[in-house]
Amino acid sequence: MRKITLLTSALAFSVMTSMSAMAAQTSITLGMQLEPPNLDPTSAAAAAIDEVVYANIFEGLTRYQADGSIVPALAKSWEISDDGLTYTFTLHSGVTFHDGTTMDAEDVKFSLDRARAEDSTNAQKRLFTGIASVDVVNPTTVSITLSNPDGGFITNLAWGDAVIVAPESIDAAANAPVGTGPFKFSRWVQGDRIEIEKNPDYWGEPIALEKATFKFISDPTAAFAAVMAGDIDAFPGYPAPENLPQFEADPRFSVIVGSTEGETILSMNNKSEKLTDVRVRKAIAHAINRQAIIDGAMFGFGTPIGTHFAPHHPDYLDLTGQSAYDPAAAKALLKEAGYSEGLTLSLKLPPPSYARRGGEIIASQLREVGIETEIENLEWAQWLEQVFRGKDFDLSIVSHTEPMDIGIYANPEYYFQYDSAAFQKTIDDLMLATDAGERTALLQSAQRVIADDYVNGYLFQLARTGVANSKIRGLWENSPTQANDLTGVSWSD
Amino acid sequence: MAKHDKSGLGKSASGFKSPTSLWIGGALTSIFVVAALVSFLWTPYSVEALNIGAKLQAPSGTHLFGTDHFGRDIFSMIMVGARVSIAVAIVAVGIGILVGVPLGLLAASRQNSFIDDLVMRSNDLVFAFPSLLIAILITAIFGTSALNAIIAIGIFNIPVFARVTRGSALPIWTLDFILAARVAGKSGLRISLEHILPNILNILIVQGTIQFSLGILAEAGLSYVGLGAQPPTPSWGRMLADSQTMISFAPHLAIFPGVAIIATVLGLNLMGDGLRDLLDPKLRRVR
């Protein structure tokens, strides 16, 4: 009898869930591991902000698409002057912000001037440093003059940090963002979820969803339970890759594996006493077995890298061979550097599993060549304070998820403290280069310089591992920028 | 004591006859003590060398308890983990005894004096904080390590031993032979050491086994939240924490450290029960 009751209740349950799925075809609940600290993408660096607002609430002049290409957004079209210095953008007309005010050239000028101002708190100010002036020609035309030609300018404008905001509403954007996007902000239950709803007055292509909820679940076990129970329809940045085979085997779910811009590196403090010697850094690089880290920490998801560059980028150079796994070479280098007795380094790890698990694997690999590590597990706030700002570390593991961020190596103040005049010159040249061939050459030379200097241990490109209800269509597979773009998402029957 | 009829003799709270619970408890505990001791000399596999290719294997002849997500042998990790748990518990209980017992003896010898109040109220203050909270506080200030976990658990043990010592010493102070010793001119210190301590030793031993099992639980709890022994040192609590996302497809990852914690704590508690019955002078007298 008991068996029968169980069976019928299971049947009733499956009927109920399929009914609720049918009724929920215009709303979606997305899981996210981290909650954004606020919702103003123009004043903070947290990736979680853009993962809620990018393309959904806020739009820029241009935007990223799922495949990483840049397409027009609020700008209908643009013309570039022959000297490459003046960009004239024609804006879409009839665009309004969610509060009803119109979006015109004045707002573009306000947004860009605000982002590049002296006292700007924009997290990516470098995107705007090349702008000399922003001029309003007429309400639908704006002209931007650069101080030097910059081949990457259109891409810069597609960043979540370069979205167009209104002077009327920006001060309150941290808690009540007002943009031009197809969704408008509706509610934020702190510590739990953010709800957004369809913007009926959207200027562009209408969207399929009426409502979307971002639910914040930091614990991987809870995330697993929530997805299994159907409380969450999709978890694009699913935190526990070990569970993906189970989802794959379940017809209710589809597993989405794509690429991200996350170069996962064993960062080395180049100013730390023992690591100033390039031979020690080279020894560490040779002591690392990348495939073992990808298999052990990421359960096989990830692509080995040999420099700080995304493998799916056309200008990528595969330099993994230069720092191939070679414990004998590592030992010889250490001996040469005067550490035949071995040495001890600190290894400070932030919370993500790629760091915690990868750290244990790397510690074991380094021990093989005679390097002892003192592992210290840190929370993000501690990591930012001690490692990122305090530079009080020898080794750390972190994934750098911004797109095309090789430029961070040109900043000697950056936390791994790499100071190379040759590299800085390469990046300076790159900023001025507009010719595609020349840019490729410079980007590849930049990749080589940091690989030759063994600045960091280059581990793997973080894979984007997500899980979603198999009826959902249109989620991004890759992650060319930090975003959960819901504009193309719909439910199939 | 006259109330005890024959059949009730030597029965502990758990219902086991005292020798039975002592034996079972002793056997369970000694399994882990032996495992810990052997691990210094030999483990089936190294717990520091990873073998990613052999990860998440189910229990088998080659790996008795299977392997974890890094391909480490879980049996070996349990053995070394026992070492960590037992070492932490021993030192933590040791701190509690070395500091708590003298404090309790002192307080009892100066009953109702200012010193008595000072000692016991400070103990209350420490006791008022949950042990895990103290541990988190200490590790937050001094950093996470097995040593700080030991100190944290040890500090929590001090008031326990101070209270038990004072509480069981007070009635002895009222007995005639203590009066005789005082009349003979012995100092409070000498009376405490020569007469009080031997008479409360059995109570302290029983309390020690109980605190020992609590120490093992506390270590597991601290390691579980990442505040105990740091990797690569294996620890039962961290093994449990690591297994969390994999329970659904590799349950052996959680079962073996879980069983190890339960068995050790159960063993120590049974042993404590048995010891109490065995050492209780009142019961002994009847027997």
**Main-chain phi, psi angles of A59, to 5 degrees:** -130, 155
CATH assignment of the domain containing B108 = 1.10.3720.10
Residue in A closest to B145 by C-alpha: A376
Q: Specify whether A277 is located in the same domain as A413.
A: yes
A381 and A309 in a common domain: yes
Query: Which chain A residue's Cα is nearest to B232?
Result: A360
Q: Is the pLDDT of residue A235 over 90?
A: yes
Domain ends where: A121, A146, A172?
A172
Residue A200 lies in a domain: yes
Q: Domain range for residue A71?
A: 59-172
- pLDDT value, residue A381: 85
pLDDT over threshold 90, residue A115: yes
* Same domain? A353 vs A399: yes
CATH number for A237: 3.40.190.10
Residue A293 is part of a domain; what is its CATH number? Answer: 3.10.105.10
Tell me how close the Cα of A478 comes to any Cα of chain B, in angstroms.
24
Q: A254-264, pLDDT tens digit by residue? A: 999 988 889 99
pLDDT at B11: 46
Last residue of a domain, one of A121, A151, A172: A172
Query: Does the residue A7 lie in any domain?
Result: no
- What does the pLDDT look like over A335-372, one tens digit per residue? 999 998 889 999 999 988 899 999 999 999 999 999 99
Mean pLDDT by 10 residues, chain B (287 residues): 41 55 91 91 85 85 87 92 90 93 92 89 86 77 78 87 93 91 89 90 90 90 83 88 88 93 93 82 51
> Looking at residue A147, which CATH number applies to its domain?
3.90.76.10
pLDDT in the model for residue B281? 59
In-domain check, residue A212: yes
Contact B232, A375 (CB under 8 A): yes
Domain membership of residue B6 (yes or no) is no
* Among the partner residues B232, B247, B249, nearest to A360 by beta-carbon distance: B232
Nearest CB neighbour to B248, from listed A246, A296, A376: A246
Q: What's the pLDDT at B282?
A: 61
State the average pLDDT for chain A: 89
Tell me the mean pLDDT in the region A116-142: 91
| pLDDT score, position B18 | 59
CA distance B260 to chain A (A): 22
Q: Look at A456 and B154; give whichever has higher pLDDT.
A: A456
- Over 90: is that where the pLDDT of A152 sits? no
- Same domain, residue pair A275 and A199: no
The verdict on A361 and A447 lying in the same domain is yes
Number of domains into which chain A is organized: 3
* A364: chain B residues, CB-CB within 8 Å: 48-50, 70, 232
Q: What is the pLDDT of residue B283?
A: 55
- Identify whether residues A212 and A361 lie together within a single domain: no
Residue A387 has pLDDT above 90, yes or no: yes
Same domain? A482 vs A384: no
| Number of domains chain B contains | 1
pTM: 0.78
A408 assigned to some structural domain: yes
Q: Say yes or no to pLDDT of A179 above 80.
A: yes
Pair A290, A300 in one domain: yes
**A327 and A219 in a common domain:** no
Query: Per-residue pLDDT tens for A14-45?
Result: 444 444 445 557 899 999 998 999 999 998 87
Residues A226, A321: one domain? no
| Chain B residues with beta carbon closer than 8 angstroms to that of A374 | 230
pLDDT at A346 (0 to 100) = 95
State pLDDT tens for residues A375-384: 988 888 889 8
Residue B1 lies in a domain: no
Q: Residue A46 has what pLDDT?
A: 81
Claim to verify: residue A387 and residue A348 sit in the same structural domain: yes
Q: How far is A289 from chain B (nearest CA, A)?
A: 11
Q: In this structure, is residue A43 part of a structural domain?
A: no
B232 vs A240, A295, A364: nearest CB: A364
Q: Which pLDDT belongs to residue A230?
A: 92
Residue A248 resides in a domain:
yes
pLDDT value, residue A477: 87
User: Would B242 be classed as within a structural domain?
Assistant: yes
Domain that holds residue B240: 22-42+73-279
Provide the pLDDT for residue B94: 94
Does A214 lie in the same domain as A191?
A: yes
